[in-house]
Amino acid sequence: MGKFVLVAAIALLAVACGSAGTGGGANPTPSPGGLGFDVTATEKDHAVTMHAGQKLEVVLHAGNAMVNWSHPMSSDTSVLSAIVDPAATAARGVTLAAFEAKKSGQVQVTSTSGPLCP
């Protein structure tokens, strides 16, 4: 099976009504997936490597004074396509998405968030 690299560009949308930090530190290795997923990525992960046929779970947590993340999107659905996770139930402030690797290639998964303005 082919191997590909997923570049998860979880972009923080900056807007003029204020700023809020998302934290710092080293980029941790994505965790092994849970319940039917091979890899789980969060807002702290910037790149993961997967094989064709593997499933990716994206779990994004909105920070304090931030709006929820937009729904994550794949830049090339022929390489990484969205799938339905029938067991997914997100808590308030959490955005969930599921994808399946279809073939070798490199894609970006993007989602945006921003400050919660009054």
Query: Which tens digits make up the pLDDT trace of 17-43?
Result: 333 333 333 333 455 555 568 888 888
In this prediction the pTM is 0.69
Say if CB 109 and CB 6 are below 8 A apart: yes
pLDDT for 5: 45
Mean confidence (pLDDT) of the chain = 75
The Cα–Cα gap between 61 and 68 comes to 8
Surface-to-core class of residue 48, CB atoms within 10 Å of its CB (0-12 exposed, 13-18 middle, 19+ buried): buried
Residue 6, helix vs strand vs coil: strand
Helix, strand, or coil (residue 54): coil
pLDDT of residue 117: 87
How much is the pLDDT for 43? 83
Q: What is the mean pLDDT of residues 56-65?
A: 90
Residue found by looking up tokens 């039917």 in the block: 36
The Cβ of residue 12 has, within 10 Å, a number of other Cβ atoms equal to 17
Instruction: Inform me whether the pLDDT recorded for 11 exceeds 80.
Output: no
Instruction: Give 71-93 pLDDT, tens digit per residue.
Output: 999 999 999 999 997 777 778 88
* Confidence band of 101 (pLDDT split at 50, 70, 90): very high
Distances (CA, A) of 81 to 65, 73, 94: 31, 9, 21
Tokens for 90, please give them. 């997100």
